[in-house]
Amino acid sequence: MTSVVPDRALPDVVTAPGLPARVQIVEVGPRDGLQNEKQPIPASAKLEFIDRLGAAGLTVIESTSFVNPTWVPQLADAAEVFPAIARRPGVRYPVLVPNERGMARALDAGVTEIAVFGSATETFAQRNLASTLDGQFEMFAPVVTAAAERGLRVRGYLSMCFGDPWEGRVPMAQVVRAGVRLLDLGCAELSLGDTIGVATAGQVTALLAAFSAAGVGADRLAVHFHDTYGQALTNTLAALRCGVVTVDASAGGLGGCPYAKSATGNVATEDLVWLLTGLGVEHGVDLDALVATSMWMAGLLGRPSPSAVVRALGGSPA
């Protein structure tokens, strides 16, 4: 049985000026969190994971990816998983779509919202997308057009916004140009990814200011931080202070980047919820239910959750 320590379940609330009243959490655990797992995870477990996340109050759950199964074997069952999701009222279930072939598979499965995954650097575009920095936009254009024709919302991910394992520092102007091109294609929202977890709070503030100077307001941006150097929550707070109200997170801190030595997963949803709760920022998530879900998944994977809050509040894996 999973246990949660009742008298530690919530932090004291001390509000701070200059923060949004509410933050939209985009839960990426079922897709970004699980995609690099080597141990096969049954479709039934993925469906239970998605359902438990919805029951915990998460309203945007990225559920899978219609990528080539040879690239991401863990998500080869996307066409099986997505149609079988038990839809909860008010919950969105976006999926990642890499190209036209993936889009065709996604449409056959009945998706209603998609995301495309771009790169801010040449090398990562070549290695991860089999494209180029400029060529990737030609690949995304028909996908976004097909979505628009069907009234589907499209989100754009931009990876390597704060550093690249091959190219090192990434010029902010280059990141902004790539991000603006994704938005101009028709993406409703742009998620800025710290793919290898090297960002610092000052860097986050400066990049968001650069987007603002280019005419892209914080209302069109989201942040996607990895916690390799323990900076994900600090960077999140910096983004909130700049007006960002959408934050990606992964239940239990699942995930990682295969291209960065020692890179850890996304910021843990539980850790983010603890931070937001303590700041008096609304998020709609039941922390106890979320911790129990991550403990259950940790038991399934056979290892402890990397989330500090899960470790603090959780008992033995269910």
**Beta bridge mates, 64:** 95
Q: CB of 97 within 8 A of CB of 144?
A: no
Contacts of residue 209, Cβ cutoff 8 Å, sequence gap at least 6: 242
CA 256 – CA 263 distance, rounded (Å): 6
CA 106 – CA 154 distance, rounded (Å): 13
Active site annotation includes 257? yes
Contacts of residue 17, Cβ cutoff 8 Å, sequence gap at least 6: none
Amino acid at residue number 34: L
Q: For residue 302, what are its two tokens?
A: 């056979």
- In the chain, where do the E strands start and end? 24-27, 60-61, 64-65, 95-96, 113-119, 153-159, 189-194, 221-225, 246-249
Q: For residue 272, what are its two tokens?
A: 């983010």
- In 15-79, where do the E strands start and end? 24-27, 60-61, 64-65
Q: 161, 187, 242, 257: which one is catalytic?
A: 257
Active-site residue numbers? 257
